Structure 1
Amino acid sequence: MSLQNTFVQRTKLFVINVIKLYKELPNTTEAQIIGRQWVRCSSSVGANYRAACRARSQKEFSAKLSIVAEEADESIFWMEILIGVEIMSMEKLNYVFKEARKF
């Protein structure tokens, strides 16, 4: 499997794992608001990486990859908030937290 295909699979798995964790959030207003933001930016990681793979130029590829990094960082932010307000534990988020840092 090529490096590009490996990243396509990893970013897709990242989104799937975030969605599974989102489903475990309590049904409180704050948890759902934070969770929706988290799912949006996390899913953008995968979608923008796929778009980068279809870039027509190196400049376009670099621009799309910078969006991937930005969305991964935002995903980390929302996980930090979930941990900070004690909605989810670091142990629960550990895998996706580490994965987001790699993008």
Structure 2
Amino acid sequence: MNQEIIEAIENKNLIEFNYDGESRTVEPHCYGVSTKGNEVLRAYQVDGYSSSGNMGWKMYDLGKADNINVLEDTFDKSRSDYKKGDKTMEEIYSEL
């Protein structure tokens, strides 16, 4: 469990990290363990590389992420289309 990610969610700080070798910046909304047993982050990507070319909702397997950095920049609130209680997570450590 990563306490910095939990605090980023609680304080609505943006998170920047490398994922599959590419930089991403996200608004973290839910952090926990997937039904497959992986540590994961449900977040809204606002900047950086996207293989689909789209920003938006993504599920990140944190085992594929490195250089995780909580930024001082914040976001205003939970996105209106966010659904609490992510069904793809077996255990939720923190969520908006």
Q: Please, what TM-score do these two structures have when normalized by structure 2? A: 0.25
Larger strand proportion of the pair? 2
Q: Please, what TM-score do these two structures have when normalized by structure 1? A: 0.24
Larger helix proportion of the pair? 1
- The structure with the largest alpha-carbon Rg is 1
